[in-house]
């Protein structure tokens, strides 16, 4: 895991969360890190706000402006995600979302966070 890298996770059907790599936790995010999807919508639609990098790591459709990497549980897609993230500024906000199933059993969020 990398220290000082911030990663924002979005579960399209319900919420997204901000994760700081290096934290020890059993779930990819904690309840105090959750935010409603409408907050992301506001960010996307606000022309005065710097846009985050939005990455789709699931099999579902993309959010406006997202880069589709594909299901992170698949090795090739996971490697593509690592390559994409390795080029990013460590201070940039990154949104990663899947949306394929209930968050607690999502097969794509956890692999994405393992990087």
How much is the average pLDDT of 83-106?
86
Residues 57-78: tens digit of each pLDDT: 998 887 888 999 999 999 999 9
Q: Does an H or E element contain 67, and which?
A: strand 67-68
The model carries a pTM of 0.71
Instruction: Supply the mean pLDDT for the chain.
Output: 75
Residue 13 or residue 39, greater confidence: 39
Above 80 in pLDDT, residue 27?
Answer: no
How much is the average pLDDT of 75-100?
90
Task: Using a pLDDT cut of 90, give the percent of the chain over it.
Answer: 29
CB burial of residue 35 (10 Å; 0-12, 13-18, 19+): middle
């Amino acid at each position: 895991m990398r220290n000082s890298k911030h990663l924002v996770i979005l579960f399209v059907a319900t919420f997204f969360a901000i994760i700081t790599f290096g934290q020890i936790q059993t779930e990819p995010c904690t309840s105090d890190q959750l935010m409603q999807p409408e907050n992301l919508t506001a960010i996307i639609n606000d022309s005065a706000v710097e846009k985050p990098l939005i990455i789709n790591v699931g099999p579902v459709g993309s959010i406006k402006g997202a880069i589709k990497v594909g299901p992170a549980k698949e090795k090739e897609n996971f490697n593509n995600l690592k390559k994409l993230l390795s080029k990013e500024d460590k201070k940039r906000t990154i949104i990663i979302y899947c949306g394929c199933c209930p968050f607690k059993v999502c097969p794509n969020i956890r692999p994405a966070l393992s990087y």
